[in-house]
Chains A and B, each alone.
Chain A
Amino acid sequence: MRDLAATAAPPLPALADKLKFYAIWVVVALVLLLLPKLFATGGSLTTFSLIGISIIFALSYNILLGQTGMLSFGHAVYYGLGGFLAIHAINIIGANKWPIPLPLVPLIGGVTGLFFAALIGWVSTQRSGTAFAMISLGLAELVASSALILRTFFGGEAGVSANRTKLLKVFGFNFGPQIQIYYLVAAWTLIAVIAMYALTRTPLGRMCNAVRDNPERVQFVGYDPHVVRYLAFCFAGFFAGIAGSLAAINFEIANSAYLGAVQSGTVLFAAYIGGIGFFIGPIVGAIFVTVLSLGLSDLTTVWQLYFGLFFIAVVMFAPGGITGLLMMHRPLIKAGMLTRMLPSYLIALLPTLALITGLMLAIETTVHYTVNPGEDPHVKAFGIPFNAASSITWLVAAALIVGGFALARISWRRTAHVWDETLTAARAKVHAT
């Protein structure tokens, strides 16, 4: 009977596949190691640190949404509580001169997240779907508002700050300079990503997927869907706590914004925009959202509006997220037919860009008249100056929106047609070989 598993079961990965798999992680580690050499400014190091934190947080969120099918509106609770506990831990460890170095503090944050997830999750994971989402929202509001009331622990509006350099030095690092914080975050990001990836390949990880697909049937193969959801929730809380404490270490402060609805919303955005159906989706999303929010806020005052519009566009036109869009093209790449799509894409891209430009022009003009109507109409957005009072600006915006929309509609329809044909051809070609 042994050979039955050998023939009917999926083959175990060959040595070459295994090496390839480990090589990916080694390359990732090397990139993380060398990144500061390529972009050495303090600003980019901060950006990288924020991206790392955001990656852990978004992946922890996807344990819920993508893996187990639980839509949470309050994941920042565990991120924030992890952050606060980390700040208090740094202060207490520093004051008492305990021999605990800074790199271990995220573990305290993680255990905090785990503890509160274990406590709150037992109730909230009793239900799935809308009920779970509502409970998570209510609890998040509860915790966020108590953060402003319980001043001794949360420090009120100002938050709680700490000095991360006061802890035990490891190998002479005091974690004052940003570069050392970058490496601390990078190391924890790598560990957390590997751990969360490994989790998806365990019996629990697969049963999470089963609960996502069909919680009813899970009960009839011996599993209690509540326990599966609960365990997933605990893991998500643990990794969120790690992310939160890294943020606290990075900023040397924790405040009520850490636990707030905005933070909970941002992680949902990041995971969804990246693509919740793929393990790397939230990683892509975290990088994208962090870079975008840092970059856009310099370019325009209403960057959140663009952010929201982009999110709506992803939900409507690319529910698989950025990763989903890229993964769609895998069969074409396999068949070497990707180039067939490029002309259609380019043709469709032009009116789309025109439409976007028109929308941006309209938005920025409207913003000028609603936010500061009395001021000079010669405004600047995205580094481009224009006259908000000029009728030409309005006409151009209208022309771009109407023309761009009409042409984009036609060209995307044609692109979809070409796509269907190319995909069919690609499948046939792969089948034939």
Chain B
Amino acid sequence: MSTAIELRGVEKSFGVTKVIQNVSLTVAQGERHALIGPNGAGKSTLFNLISGYMTPSAGSILLRDQTISGLRPYQINRRGLSRSFQVTNVFANMTVWENLRCAVLWATGHRYAFWKNVDKLPEVRQRTAEILQDIHLVGRRDVPAGLLTYAEQRALEIGITIAGGADVILLDEPTAGMSHAETERAVELIRRLTEGRTLLIVEHDMSVVFGLADRISVLVYGQIIASGTPEEIRGNPKVKEAYLGEEAA
């Protein structure tokens, strides 16, 4: 299997604080990979490094065997990697439809066009409509994103992330703050939408992690202490001690 994302000895320090220490990680093409770890372990920082929001202090990050560390977020996005945010990060004053459309425009090749009517682009309409239906927000199409319920905003967040057609998806705690029923629906949505794509997901809900992931990596104090299938991780004494044990107790 070819690799989608590869981290080689990645480090990140803020001043003297090393937040990420010598992290090496491989996510295979088409794999659903979960990243777990206690609060403050550096999971979100790792996402910020992979997506180009931050630059690693050392080491390199590769997307399909090409180095992406040092590139800007939009350059990485154009290469087919898209991420969501832990705190909902949408275009609050624009409608659901417009939000999704913004995420479709670059991928459909319209870029900075100022000579086309945005409402009349058939492939943009088609793709936006598909995503809108996928995330079950057809009925909320013309509502400004800022007025959606929390769960709806989370769905829109995922919609924006996948709308550009990226085949490597990074989701940062997509079910955080959701009720049990909402979480179940969100997991179903994620499973369906990431079909055939590579997924790297940060998640706190262990039922989500073990139900969704093909492989799991455990990040503690900026270091990956274990990486493997859900069974391996469940049986790993180091993980139990550092993380899962705490949860169980």
Contact = CB atoms under 8 A, between A and B. Distances in A.
Contact of A12 (B93, B98, B111, B119): B119
B147 interface: no
A202 B77 contact: no
A221 B163 CA distance: 9
Contacts of B126: 1-2, 4-5, 9
Contacts of B83: 220
A326 interface: no
Contacts of A205: 114, 118
A9 B94 contact: no
A223 interface: yes
Interface residues of B, number: 51
A219 B119 CA distance: 22
Contact of A4 (B85, B101, B130, B142): B130
A224 B72 contact: yes
B128 A9 contact: yes
A54 B111 CA distance: 32
A209 to B, nearest CB: 6
A219 B114 CA distance: 19
Given A202-B113, A203-B118, A207-B105, A9 B91 contact: no
Interface residues of A, number: 36
B64 to A, nearest CB: 17
A37 interface: no
Contact of B111 (A10, A201, A203): A203
A10 B141 contact: yes
A12 B132 contact: no
Nearest to B79: A222
Contacts of B118: 201-203, 205-206
A205 B117 CA distance: 10
A8 B164 contact: no
A216 interface: yes
Q: Which of A8, A207, A212, A235 has the most CB of B within 10 A?
A: A8
Interface in A1-29: 1-2, 4-5, 7-10, 12
A203 B74 contact: no
Given A212-B93, A224-B74, 12 more contacts: A5-B125, A8-B130, A9-B126, A199-B114, A202-B117, A203-B111, A207-B105, A210-B91, A213-B91, A218-B102, A219-B74, A221-B160
21 contacts: A4-B133, A5-B126, A5-B129, A7-B129, A9-B128, A9-B129, A9-B132, A201-B117, A203-B110, A203-B118, A204-B112, A206-B102, A207-B112, A213-B92, A216-B89, A217-B85, A220-B73, A220-B82, A221-B103, A222-B105, A222-B106
